[in-house]
Structure 1
Amino acid sequence: MNALKTSLLCIALASAWPVAAQEMDHSKMDHSKMAMPETPKPTETDPAKKKAEPEDEPAPMDHSKMDHAAMGHDMSGMPVDSSMPGMQHDEAMAPEQPRTPIPPITDADRAAAQPPGGHMAHLDNGIHSYSLLNRLEGWDADPGKGLAWEGQGWIGTDLDRLWWRSEGERVDGHTESADIEVLYGRSVSTWWDVVAGVRHDFKPGDSQSFAAFGVQGLAPQKFEVSATAYVGERGQTAARFEVEYELLLTNRLILQPLVEVDLYGKDDPARGIGSGLSTAEAGLRLRYEFSRRFAPYIGVVHERAFGNTADLRREEGEGASDTRFVVGVRAWF
């Protein structure tokens, strides 16, 4: 039995030997001496390379090294965008421009720019005039029907003017008060004048005159202000303050508040005037300007007497205060 197994093994080995002899023994081969064939690189016309690799972008042109004069192109008038690639020209490419520094302004330059007479001088010294009837109004109240006026105007240049001012009141056909002022005004700033002159009172009582001096102009916030002091021929003293403001509701509809205060230095019973704070008047008028020269209005006015003036009015059977509705017109020319 053992002999049979041995015979079969020998037959199998004999049949396998030729096949094994044909196979290569890779363990004994020198791989370092074996050169692997090189894979050919795709050429520029190879479509595979064009799909795998993006096309190379062209290199930016350096214009600083280009001779534009030799190319026959005038580049001086062409706009240059420095944000574009390759457009960073050297400063040497820009043409040389003369640069003249501006000299500093001196006091002599400032003096030469001013007209003769300094900052108060004006080039226009022509004669002009202006007249304003600020209030011409009537009412119908318990004391009776009344009419009141107040106006002012001037004639002259921008610096020197002759002013006039007047106001008064009539009740039931009788003049209760009336005065007129003639003043010389001198401009001391853009918005303010100093004034000096005379005032003459026709009523109440006997007529008399006062020396007058004061200021008038436009205060901050556009308040029109007038403050005047008076010295009478018989030693009386007085002062009058007036403030008014124009509030534009529309371009033509204007609301005008006004306050006027009178003070006197001593009692004058013949004229119904007491010393100290004599009277105060506050008015509110709403006007509509059909034109800048003509504007009707309606309003309400409250007048009150104080101190000795109120006592003198009570002795005459009059009230110390009065409120009335008025209708009037405002005009200038």
Structure 2
Amino acid sequence: MMRAALLIGAALTAAPLSAQDHSGHSGHANHDAHSQDQGHAQHQPQPANEPEPKEVDLKADHCAMGHLPPEQCPPKEDQAGHDGMDHGSMHHSEHKDGAQPEQIDHSSMDHSAMNHSQHGAATDKSAPGAAPEDAVPARALEGPRHAADAIWGASAMAPSRENLARENGGMRTGSVLIERFEARITTDSGEDGYVWDAQAFYGGDINRFVLKTEGEGEFAGELEDAEIQALYSRAIGPFFDLQAGVRFDAEPDTRGHLVVGVQGLAPYMFHVDGALFLSDRGNITARLEGEYDQRITQRLIVQPRLEVELSAQDIPERGIGAGITKIEPGVRLRYEIEREFAPYVGIEYEAALGETADIARAAGEDPNGLKVVIGLRAWF
């Protein structure tokens, strides 16, 4: 009798556990009790010989959580917010063995610990009241002016800063510009002549030493006018320099002047040069020059030019009357063989005005004249 009872107990124990119905289980404790026969894809590791469960379709929910790029999501108005999601209703797909999908309680899950680094980043980063991404934080402007001094010491960094300033605008440079070096051929009975007009500078962007010289004469005659100026030039703006210094005239008579003037680039790219002169004999004169380079091609340039001279009083020894004494409008066409070397041709009209013209006529001279010019413009 005892032997029959043991055989019946053994038969009941050997019944396959897989025949039991587990579709009603919803807790993790029940899964642990039956993990030998049936593993859940999200809670228990799968045996090596069993296939993986179907991939969970949570696209709409992940779009609402910002885990997918916008192009893979439905319109925003159709998405539910993350806070409004019902995690309790989320379920997994059916098991391979035909078991019904189980309800999973997400209310106890720690979503902050989930790794979403593989999901696509959302492209819309705007937020009401947010600062732009390129905004400079306030702390970037705090601290000492030369923070490197705290590490390397002021004595080591001072020479480096001086060298940096010198190489980025503080370098001293020099240049020589021959603006006009030309022959003048008269169209009337006057004498042919020549003119030079050149200047050189040496210094930095702010302070410079400037040397100017100009003059004219006749090929068959003597030197008529010759002067040289030594000036201190200081930048008073991005395009203009204030200049002051002295001028020495060698011809037609020897005399000195104090000079103050401006030189630079006026609006619409007009090059201007104006100066006021006070001679050692108390005479006040002025000179204004303006020119404009109009490029026809990269090498062919038309340059209109105008020079005007004025005097505050009569200067009989030089044949000058008060007022506007002389005007020289002209135009030149030059070709830059190289940027530093450009021959040119042109015409120029020279006219004495006012009392100066009267003085010229009284001396038997023609106060007006049209000249053809052939010259060279160069710099180095």
Matched letter for residue 159 of structure 1: I
- After superposition, where does 1:1-333 map in structure 2 within 5 Å? 62-65=58-61, 81-82=71-72, 102-103=135-136, 123-141=168-186, 142-171=189-218, 172-204=220-252, 206-333=253-380
Change (3 A) 1:210 1:122: farther
Partner-residue secondary structure (3-state), 2:268: helix
How far, CA to CA, are the matches of 2:198 and 2:369 in structure 1?
A: 22
For residue 193 of structure 1, what is the amino acid of its counterpart?
D
Cα deviation, residue 139, structure 1:
2.4
Instruction: Decide whether aligned partners of structure 1 residues 290 and 80 sit closer, same or farther in structure 2, where only a CA change above 3 A counts.
Output: same
State the 1:203 CA deviation: 1.7
Map Cα deviations across residues 263-291 of structure 1 (whole Å, 9 max, x no partner): 11111111111111100111100000011
Residue matched to 2:99 = none
Distance verdict in 2 for CA 1:253–1:106, change over 3 Å: farther
Q: Which runs of 4+ in 1 moved over 3 A?
A: 82-97, 99-109, 120-123
In 2: Cα distance, 1:243 partner to 1:316 partner: 30
Query: Greater strand share, 1 or 2?
Result: 1
The one-letter code of the counterpart of 2:201 is W
Measured at CA, do residues 193 and 122 of structure 1 come closer, stay the same or move farther in structure 2, by a change above 3 Å? farther
- Checking the alignment, whether the CA contact within 8 Å between 1:122 and 1:158 is kept in structure 2 is no
SS in 2 for 1:124: helix
CA distance in 1: counterparts of 2:277 and 2:61, whole angstroms: 90
Shift of 1:173: 3.4
Q: 1:65 to 1:242 in 2, by over 3 A?
A: closer
Q: CA deviation at 1:112?
A: 5.7
Distance 1:85 1:247, change over 3 A: closer
- Once the two structures are TM-superposed, the CA of residue 320 in structure 1 deviates from its matched residue by 1.1
Q: For the Cα contact (< 8 Å) 1:242–1:260, is it kept in 2?
A: yes
Q: Could you give the per-residue CA deviations for residues 212-231 of structure 1, whole angstroms, max 9, x where no partner exists?
A: 00111111100011111111
Q: Is the 8 A contact 2:345 2:373 kept in 1?
A: yes
Q: CA RMSD in A?
A: 3.5
Amino acid at match of 2:205: D
Q: Is the 8 A contact 2:60 2:73 kept in 1?
A: no
Kept after mapping to 2: 8 A contact 1:153/1:165:
yes
Q: Normalising by structure 1, report the TM-score.
A: 0.69
Larger radius of gyration: 1
Give % identity. Answer: 36
**Residue identity opposite 1:63 in structure 2:** K
Letter in 1 for 2:307: E
Unmatched 5+ stretches in structure 2: 1-56, 83-110, 147-160
Report the TM-score when normalising by structure 2: 0.60
Q: 2:357 aligns to what SS in structure 1?
A: helix
User: Which stretch has the larger CA shift, 186-195 or 83-92?
Assistant: 83-92
Letter in 2 for 1:316: A
Task: Figure out how many residues of one structure are paired with residues of the other and give that number.
Answer: 258
**Closer, same or farther: CA 181–103 of 1 in aligned 2, 3 Å:** closer
- Deviation per CA, 1:48-91: give whole Å up to 9, x if none: xxxxxxxxxxxxx542458xxxxxxxx97x85624568996966
2:16 corresponds to = none
Task: Judge which range, 164-173 or 284-293, deviates more.
Answer: 164-173
Q: Are the counterparts in 2 of residues 64 and 90 from structure 1 also a CA contact under 8 Å?
A: no
Alpha-carbon distance in 1 for matches of 2:167, 2:260 = 25
Any idea what SS the aligned residue of 1:251 has?
coil
Q: Is the 8 A contact 1:82 1:88 kept in 2?
A: no
* 1:124-152 deviation per Cα after TM superposition (whole angstroms, max 9, x unaligned): 32221011101111023221121111111
* Other structure's SS at 1:81 match: helix
Q: Which runs of 5+ in 1 are unaligned?
A: 1-60, 67-74
Q: Distance in 1 between matches of 2:328 and 2:373?
A: 14
Alignment-mate amino acid for residue 198 of structure 1: V
Tell me the equivalent position of 2:103: none
Q: State the partner residue of 2:105.
A: none
Task: Tell me the alpha carbon deviations over residues 266-320 of structure 1, each in whole angstroms, 9 at most, x when there is no partner.
Answer: 1111111111110011110000001100001000000110112111111221111
Amino acid at match of 2:274: A
